[in-house]
Amino acid sequence: MSEESKIPGHYFVLSLLKNIFSRTLRASNNVPRHVGFIMDGNRRWARKNDIEVKDGHEAGFHSMSRILELCYEAGVDTATVFAFSIENFKRSKYEVDSLMDLAQRRIKQITENGELTDKYGIRVRVIGDISLLDKDVLLDIQHATERTKNNTRATLNICFPYTGREEVVHSMKDVITENYSPSEINEDLIDSHLYTGGLPPLDLLIRTSGVSRLSDFMIWQGSKKGVRIELLDCLWPEFGPLRMGWILLKFAFRKSYSNSKEVIDEDYEEEEEEEESVDKKKYI
Amino acid sequence: MTMTEAQAIDTKYLNGNTKMIVENDTDEKITNLTTSTGSNFHIPPPAASRMKGGSANTKRRTVHAISNSIFVDNRNINATPKIIQDNNNNNKNAASSSSSNTFWKNENTNYFKFTFYKIVLAVLFFMFGIFRYCQLQYNKSKLKILDLLYNPSNTPQLIRQDVVKLNKIPSRLAAILEVKPIGDVGGGLKGILNDASELVCWTISAGVKHLSLYDYDGVLQKNTDELRNAIYEHLSIYYGPANVPNFAIRIPHFNKILYNTKVKGDIKSKVAIEVSLLSNRDGRETIVDLTRTMAELCSNKELNVNDITVDLVDTELKQLVGQEPDLLLYFGPSLDLQGYPPWHIRLTEFFWEEDNNQVTYSVFIRGLKQYAGCKVNVGK
């Protein structure tokens, strides 16, 4: 967007505004701590604009990095992106290969150039059933995760290749092999053995392209009570920082509203109780 | 009728009902549902906490809360530890406040900068608040118009006409219901029973054979007899008392099936609808139970860990909870799955109306319409 404009200083003003906005949100103390993204619609976008599917995925990647930048700046602790589903192996071999290739290059780029990761101190993790990947892809991934593993301020989970059901089963298996006694097995234990174990709980889940399904993404975490699910009509490459900012603002507003409402309701209840007790005393 | 009157009536009703529940518990088979409820001591039902409050008489509170969320952000930081003490499970606040506090320390922010952001935030929230108010009013009037447009007026034929136009209907439908505060419209136990039975009527009329009703606390599961009566009454309004369709109520968690009349037998063969009642217990807890059982089997060497696959877990959970629904209707203001069984929402389509708070036919039919227009492509 900003590259197209010819007004001098345009880019500077935009980034300044973005900065102020994200810091303001951060000051609200109510930004989501863990955001999940289902990046849907790259191919439809490519078809719509008459370009190759591969370029659609590229555009999707750019939009992802812009959005993540805003998120981390606003104080989001963890972002989880759905890059590749286990079901995606059903696609044509050519596309699967190009997706693999893209992911491999991008993971390298994110970590080696270190623009995003170093600036925000992001630890990159690749989660999912990585045993399904080719050897050289796996090697690159290991390399990348090694490089950023000491960053502690934020986390980026790349789900590659992933399905929610596989994650749950994986966690069950882990729990079983670690030989806990049956009485020790509970929800939190399964929770902590998920790929996202140890990270803050999911607060916000965003899906683009107007589809109202989870498509097997974070089903365990996303079905919890209180997780906000936003379904958007735009395709992923069209989903820019502006819309993301809007969603974050909405989230912060609702959260701080419900927080202060809770406190107030409690106050009122106490008041009412006091009144009641006063009434009782009168009767006595 | 004023709000307070309505509240008083509902309170009366609810009090009557809770008594009924307790009585039921002592003399009938439902005793095993609520294990700790005895006749000697009264434990309020889990939903009781949610029935408090409500939108009646809370205008003052709402205004107070909004103004607080706009202006009193400083207080928010200081007040969060207090909230944590109040409810321990709400540890989100704890972490968020500590993390952002460290952020402000790290950045060595001076007071001026901090105040500046707070002021900008207040302005942003203020503007958003105004926008939100307009949006709320717009959505509400939209819903009212939709309610007028789609009106089933208790006749299955009209619903049938609406559905015939659709090129596909879901074979399994699910709905998330909520127990509302007694002061609200359609609140209390009576409200949720009414909503549930209305939904059953629409579903039968639409020709869908399976319906799962989910409510977080399992209020429906605990009041099966009342639910059965309520459904029967509603169906006799829709179809006439002489030809009430047969229905079966299934509670997977207790492995229990109820039919519309108390006598089992010939009706068993042909039911028009099967209603499953689900609660939070059927979600994650059931997966945990399954893990426990599998762990035991593994330690007895009756099962190999490597044999545990997605397919195996899938068949087990299908048996324990039921099939995955095609369409999930949510009758709340913004999508929140409320702990619906996670395994069963893999490819389920969701439908809800923004800022809607009522179980209405217009949401139901619009959900079916959306489903008819959707296209599922697994992975492709």
Say if residue A65's pLDDT is above 90: no
Say if residue B60's pLDDT is above 90: no
Q: What is the pLDDT of residues A239-269, one digit of tens each?
A: 989 999 999 999 999 888 888 777 777 777 7
Our count of domains for chain B comes to: 2
User: CATH for A34-163+202-251, among 3.40.50.80, 3.40.1180.10, 3.80.10.10, 3.40.50.150?
Assistant: 3.40.1180.10
Chain pair A-B, CB pairs under 8 angstroms? 203
pLDDT-based confidence at residue B75 (cuts at 50, 70, 90): very low
> So what's the pLDDT on residue A235?
92
Do residues B95 and B172 share a domain?
no
Nearest in space to A148 (alpha carbons), one of A177, A111, A183: A111
- B251 vs B32: which has the higher pLDDT: B251
> So what's the pLDDT on residue B66?
67
Instruction: Please report how many Cα atoms fall inside a 13 Å half-sphere around the Cα of residue B274, on the Cβ side.
Output: 16
Report the C-alpha gap between A65 and A240 in whole angstroms: 10
A-chain CB neighbours of B308 within 8 Å are 169, 172-173, 176
> So what's the pLDDT on residue B85?
37
Least confident of A57-61, A243-247, B162-166, B267-271: B267-271
What string of DSSP letters covers B24-76?
Answer: HHHHSGGGGTSTT--SSS----TTHHHHSS-STT-HHHHHHHHHHHHH-HHHH
> So what's the pLDDT on residue A87?
87
The top-scoring range by mean pLDDT among A105-114, A161-170, B62-71 is A161-170
Query: Helices (DSSP H) in A29-126: which residue ranges?
Result: 42-48, 53-74, 93-113, 115-120
Q: Residue A228: beta bridge partners?
A: A204
Q: Are strands B210-214 and B247-251 parallel, antiparallel or unpaired?
A: unpaired
Report the C-alpha gap between B380 and B199 in whole angstroms: 34
Contact with chain B for residue A119, Cβ under 8 A: no
Residue B312 belongs to some domain of the structure: no
Residue A56, amino acid: G
* Mutate which: A19, A20, A22, A24, vs B, most B CBs within 10 A: A24
Do residues B354 and B209 share a domain?
yes
Do residues B173 and B77 share a domain?
no
- Residues in contact with A76: Cβ distance below 8 Å, sequence separation at least 6, in sequence order: A31, A32, A33, A34, A35, A154
Residue B341, amino acid: P
Say if residue A118's pLDDT is above 60: yes
Q: Which helix (H) or strand (E) holds B237?
A: helix B224-239
B-chain CB neighbours of A165 within 8 Å are 310, 313-314, 343, 346
Say if residue A172's pLDDT is above 80: yes
Report the C-alpha gap between B371 and A261 in whole angstroms: 36
Report the C-alpha gap between A65 and A245 in whole angstroms: 14
Least confident of A53-62, B21-30, B107-116: B21-30
Say if residue B45's pLDDT is above 60: no
CA–CA min distance B46, chain A (Å):
16
Say if residue B158's pLDDT is above 50: yes
> So what's the pLDDT on residue B24?
39
Report the C-alpha gap between B362 and A83 in whole angstroms: 36
Residue B299 belongs to some domain of the structure: no
Q: What does the mean pLDDT of chain B come to?
A: 76
Residue B333 belongs to some domain of the structure: yes
Residue B124 belongs to some domain of the structure: no
Cβ pair A173:B308 closer than 8 A: yes
Cβ pair A268:B339 closer than 8 A: no
Contact with chain B for residue A29, Cβ under 8 A: yes
The top-scoring range by mean pLDDT among A172-176, A209-213, A267-271 is A172-176
Contact with chain B for residue A164, Cβ under 8 A: yes
Residue B197, amino acid: S
Do residues B97 and B185 share a domain?
no
Tokens describing residue B170: 């879901």
Cβ within 8 Å of B, A 223-262: 223-229, 231, 249-250, 253, 256-257, 259-262
Least confident of A205-214, A268-277, B313-322: A268-277
Q: Phi and psi (nearest 5°) for A9?
A: 80, 0
> So what's the pLDDT on residue B11?
43
From the list A20, A180, A225, the residue facing B120 with the nearest CB is A20
Cβ pair A168:B380 closer than 8 A: no
> So what's the pLDDT on residue B96?
41
B-chain CB neighbours of A203 within 8 Å are 92
Identify the CATH number of the domain in which residue B186 sits: 3.40.1180
Least confident of A17-21, A195-199, B48-52: B48-52
Cβ pair A187:B284 closer than 8 A: yes
Task: Please report the ipTM that was assigned to this predicted complex.
Answer: 0.85
In chain B, what is the straight-line distance between the N-terminal and C-terminal CA atoms, in Å?
56
- A219 vs B54: which has the higher pLDDT: A219
Residue B19 belongs to some domain of the structure: yes
Q: Phi and psi (nearest 5°) for B258?
A: -120, 145
Tokens describing residue A60: 């999707």
From the list B68, B292, B342, the residue facing A223 with the nearest CB is B342
Residue B290 belongs to some domain of the structure: no
Cβ pair A263:B339 closer than 8 A: no
**Domain ranges (residues) in chain A:** 34-163+202-251
Q: A167: burial class by Cβ within 10 Å (0-12, 13-18, 19+)?
A: buried
Say if residue B92's pLDDT is above 60: no
Say if residue A228's pLDDT is above 70: yes
Q: What is the pLDDT of residues B227-282, one digit of tens each?
A: 999 999 999 999 988 888 888 999 998 888 888 765 555 555 578 899 999 999 99
Do residues B240 and B362 share a domain?
yes
Least confident of A98-112, A146-160, B26-40, B113-127: B26-40
Do residues B200 and B337 share a domain?
yes
Q: Which residue has the tokens 């696609």?
A: A91
From the list B118, B309, B349, the residue facing A212 with the nearest CB is B349
Residue B91 belongs to some domain of the structure: yes
Do residues B101 and B161 share a domain?
no
Do residues B252 and B334 share a domain?
yes
Do residues B179 and B88 share a domain?
no
Contact with chain B for residue A105, Cβ under 8 A: no
Report the C-alpha gap between A225 and B330 in whole angstroms: 13
Contact B304, A177 (CB under 8 A): no
Cβ pair B61:A89 closer than 8 A: no
> So what's the pLDDT on residue B87?
41
Q: Which helix (H) or strand (E) holds A78?
A: strand A78-82
Do residues B93 and B221 share a domain?
no
Contact with chain B for residue A5, Cβ under 8 A: no
pLDDT-based confidence at residue B35 (cuts at 50, 70, 90): very low
Q: Phi and psi (nearest 5°) for A241?
A: -60, -30
Residue B126 belongs to some domain of the structure: no
Do residues B66 and B198 share a domain?
no
Tokens describing residue B350: 């969701």
Shortest CA distance from A216: residue in chain B: B346
3-state secondary structure string across B92-139 = HHHHHHHHHHHHHHHCCCCHHHHHHHHHHHHHHHHHHHHHHHHHHHHH
Q: Which residue has the tokens 């500077």?
A: A12
> So what's the pLDDT on residue B373?
83
Cβ pair B314:A211 closer than 8 A: no
Contact A18, A70 (CB under 8 A): yes
Contact with chain B for residue A152, Cβ under 8 A: no
Do residues B156 and B264 share a domain?
yes
Contact A44, A237 (CB under 8 A): no
Mean pLDDT value across residues A196-222: 91
Say if residue B38's pLDDT is above 50: no
A-chain CB neighbours of B82 within 8 Å are 263
A-chain CB neighbours of B115 within 8 Å are none
What range does the domain containing B64 cover? 3-117
Q: What is the pLDDT of residues B176-234, one digit of tens each?
A: 998 888 877 778 889 999 999 999 999 999 999 999 999 999 999 999 989 999 999 99
Q: Please identify, among B66, B95, B117, the residue that sits at the C-terminal boundary of a domain.
A: B117
Report the C-alpha gap between B258 and B247 in whole angstroms: 8
Q: In chain A, what are the helix, strand and coil shares in percent, each to the nearest 5?
A: 60, 10, 30
Mean pLDDT value across residues B78-83: 37
Contact A190, A164 (CB under 8 A): no
Query: With pLDDT > 70 as the criterion, what percentage of chain A qualifies?
Result: 91
- A275 vs B365: which has the higher pLDDT: B365
The top-scoring range by mean pLDDT among B38-47, B76-85, B200-209 is B200-209
- A109 vs A257: which has the higher pLDDT: A257
- A62 vs B20: which has the higher pLDDT: A62
Q: Which residues of B203-221 are buried (b: 16+ CB within 10 A; e: fewer)?
A: bbbbebebbbbbbbbbbbb
A31: how many CB neighbours lie within 10 A of its CB? Answer: 25
> Is the peptide bond preceding residue A161 cis, with omega within 30 degrees of 0?
yes
Shortest CA distance from A254: residue in chain B: B69
Query: With pLDDT > 90 as the criterion, what percentage of chain B qualifies?
Result: 37
Q: Please identify, among B117, B132, B160, the residue that sits at the C-terminal boundary of a domain.
A: B117
Q: What does the mean pLDDT of chain A come to?
A: 85
Say if residue B147's pLDDT is above 50: yes
Contact B368, B340 (CB under 8 A): no
> Measured on CA atoms in the order B83, B87, B93, B95, is the torsion positive or negative?
positive
